[in-house]
C-alpha cells in the first residue's frame, strides 16, 4: 500500500489531474475517437437525408392528377372508376340524405384497388337523386347530416351546408363535391366525382 501511493501521486500530481502522458491525450486514441464521432454523425445525416430526399421527389411518383392546395383538396380514394350500385331507389326516403359506403375500384396515387368510399345519397324527388362527397370542402373533415336541422355539419371547424350541398356558414370555400349519380332499373348508381379537376 505504501508503495502504491507515491506512484499515484507521481501520475496524478497533487491536484489529482492526470499528467500529459495520460491515455486520453494519446494521438492514436484521439484519432480513433474523432473518426468514430465523424462516422456516427455521417450515419445520422444519411438516416435523415434519405427520407427527406424521398419526400422531395414523391410528387414525381404520383399519378397524373394535378396537385391541389388545401382549399381544393380531394381525398385521393374518391377518384373511383366506373359505376357502382348503392341500393334500390325505394331504400332512400325523399328529402333525406342517406349515407352509403359502397366498395368500388379506386386510385390512390399509384395504388389501385377496391376500397369503401362513403357518400350521401339525396333523393330529391320520386326519380331524381344527387350524391355528395362526405368530406368538407374546407380541409376534408367528414360531414355529419343532422336530420333535425336539415343541415350537414362539419365537426372540425364549424362548416354548415344545406341539403343541396350549398355553404350556409363557416369556412368552406365552395359547395360540397358531388358524385355522378343515376337511377336505372329502380336502382341507384354512383359514378366518379363530377367536379374533380
pLDDT score for 73: 44
Q: What's the CATH code of the domain at 128? A: 2.102.10.10
Q: What distance in Å separates the CA atoms of residue 166 and residue 169, rounded to the nearest whole number? A: 9
Q: Which residues span the domain enclosing 46? A: 4-58
Q: Do 120 and 164 share a domain, yes or no?
A: yes
Q: Do 47 and 108 share a domain, yes or no?
A: no
Q: Do 98 and 142 share a domain, yes or no?
A: yes
- pLDDT tens, 159-179? 899 888 899 888 888 898 888
Q: What distance in Å separates the CA atoms of residue 121 and residue 133, rounded to the nearest whole number? A: 9
- pLDDT tens, 39-88? 999 999 999 988 888 777 766 555 554 444 444 444 544 555 678 888 88
Q: Do 21 and 105 share a domain, yes or no?
A: no
Q: Do 32 and 98 share a domain, yes or no?
A: no
Q: Do 157 and 84 share a domain, yes or no?
A: yes
Q: Do 139 and 46 share a domain, yes or no?
A: no
Query: Do the domain assignments include residue 63?
Result: no
Query: Do the domain assignments include residue 30?
Result: yes
39: which DSSP letter?
Answer: H
Query: Do the domain assignments include residue 13?
Result: yes
Query: Do the domain assignments include residue 33?
Result: yes
Contact between 157 and 141 under an 8 Å Cβ cutoff? The reply is yes
Q: Is 139's pLDDT higher than 90?
A: no
Q: How far is CA 38 from the centre of its chain?
A: 36
Q: Do 32 and 122 share a domain, yes or no?
A: no
How many domains are there within the chain?
2
What pTM, to 2 d.p., does this model score?
0.57
Q: Do 82 and 22 share a domain, yes or no?
A: no
Amino acid at each position: 500500500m505504501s508503495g502504491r501511493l507515491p506512484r499515484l501521486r507521481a501520475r496524478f500530481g497533487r491536484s489529482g489531474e492526470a499528467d500529459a502522458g495520460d491515455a486520453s491525450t494519446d494521438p492514436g486514441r484521439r484519432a480513433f475517437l474523432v473518426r468514430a464521432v465523424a462516422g456516427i454523425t455521417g450515419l445520422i445525416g444519411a438516416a435523415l437525408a434519405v427520407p427527406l430526399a424521398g419526400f422531395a421527389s414523391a410528387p414525381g411518383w404520383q399519378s397524373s392528377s394535378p396537385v391541389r392546395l388545401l382549399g381544393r383538396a380531394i381525398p385521393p380514394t374518391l377518384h373511383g372508376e366506373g359505376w357502382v350500385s348503392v341500393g334500390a331507389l325505394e331504400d332512400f326516403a325523399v328529402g333525406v340524405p342517406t349515407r352509403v359506403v359502397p366498395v368500388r375500384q379506386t386510385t390512390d396515387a399509384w395504388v389501385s384497388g377496391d376500397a369503401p368510399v362513403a357518400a350521401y345519397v339525396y333523393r330529391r324527388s320520386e326519380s331524381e337523386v344527387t350524391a355528395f362527397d362526405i368530406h368538407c370542402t374546407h380541409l376534408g373533415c367528414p360531414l355529419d347530416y343532422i336530420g333535425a336541422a336539415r343541415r350537414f355539419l362539419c365537426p372540425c371547424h364549424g362548416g354548415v351546408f344545406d341539403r343541396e350541398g350549398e355553404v350556409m356558414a363557416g369556412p368552406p370555400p365552395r359547395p360540397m363535391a358531388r358524385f355522378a349519380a343515376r337511377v336505372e332499373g329502380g336502382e341507384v348508381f354512383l359514378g366518379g366525382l363530377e367536379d374533380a379537376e
